[in-house]
Amino acid sequence: MNGEASTGAAPGFQGRWAGPALAALCGLLAVGLGLLSGELLSAWLSPSVSPLNAVGAVMIDAFPGPVKDWAVANFGTNDKLVFGVTMRVIVALLACAAGVLERRKRGIGVGLVIAIGVLSAAAGASRPDGGTTPAFLGILSGAVAAIVLAVLIERLRAWTDRPRTQTLRSASGTDRRRFLSALGLSAVGVAILAVGTAVAQGAVTGYQNARAALKLPAPKKAAPAPPSDPPVPGIPSWTTPADSFYRIDTALVVPFPDPDTWRLRVTGMVDQEVTMTFAELLAKPLEEHDVTLTCVSNEVGGNLIGNARWLGWPVRELLAEAGVKPGADMVLSTSVDGFTAGTPLAALQDGRAAILAVGMNGQPLPPEHGFPVRMVVPGLYGYVSATKWLTELKVTTFAADSGYWIPRGWSPLGPIKRSSRVDVPRDGQSLHADAVLGGVAWAQGVGVASVEVRIDDGAWRAARLGGDGGADSWRQWWLPLAEAAGGVPGHGKHTVTVRMTGRDGTAQSTDQVPPAPNGSSGLHSVGFTVS
Ligand SMILES: Nc1nc2c(c(=O)[nH]1)N[C@H]1C(S)=C(S)[C@@H](COP(=O)(O)O)O[C@H]1N2
Ligand SMILES: [Mo]
Span 38-50, pLDDT tens digits: 988 887 776 666 7
Say what the pLDDT of residue 162 is: 62
By most ligand atoms within 8 Å of CB, the mutation choice from 244, 249, 303 for ligand 1 is 249
Domain boundaries, the chain: 18-204, 242-408, 419-530
Say what the pLDDT of residue 311 is: 98
The residues facing 395 across adjacent strands are: 268, 331
Query: What is the mean pLDDT of the segment spanning 456-482?
Result: 97
Indicate if the pLDDT at residue 4 is higher than 50.
no
Mean pLDDT of the chain: 90
Span 8-53, pLDDT tens digits: 333 344 567 888 999 999 999 999 999 999 988 887 776 666 788 7
Q: What percent of the chain has pLDDT over 90?
A: 72
Indicate if the pLDDT at residue 73 is higher than 80.
no
Query: What is the mean pLDDT of the segment spanning 475-487?
Result: 97
Residue nearest to atom 15 of ligand 1 (CA): 382
Query: What is the mean pLDDT of the segment spanning 245-257?
Result: 81
Indicate if the pLDDT at residue 469 is higher than 70.
yes
* Fold (CATH) for 419-530: Immunoglobulin-like (2.60.40)
Do 288 and 239 form a contact (C-beta atoms < 8 A)? no
Residue nearest to atom 16 of ligand 1 (CA): 248
- CA–CA gap between residue 51 and residue 142 (Å, rounded): 9
Task: Give Cβ neighbours of residue 320 (< 8 Å, ≥ 6 apart).
Answer: none
Asked, as a colleague might, if the bond just before 407 is cis with ω within 30 of 0, I would say: no
Say what the pLDDT of residue 12 is: 40
Q: What percent of the chain has pLDDT over 70?
A: 90
Indicate if the pLDDT at residue 175 is higher than 70.
yes
- Ligand 2 centroid from CA 384, angstroms: 8
Higher local confidence (pLDDT), 212 or 277: 277
Question: HEC string of 37-61?
Answer: HHHHHHHHHCCCCCHHHHHHHHHHH
- CA–CA gap between residue 373 and residue 365 (Å, rounded): 7
Indicate if the pLDDT at residue 517 is higher than 50.
yes
Is the minimum distance from the CB of 386 to ligand 1 under 6 angstroms?
yes
Q: At what angle do helices 108-126 and 18-45 cross, to 10 degrees?
A: 20
Query: What is the mean pLDDT of the segment spanning 369-374?
Result: 96
Say what the pLDDT of residue 159 is: 85
Say what the pLDDT of residue 10 is: 37
Q: Which CATH architecture has domain 242-408?
A: Alpha-Beta Complex (3.90)
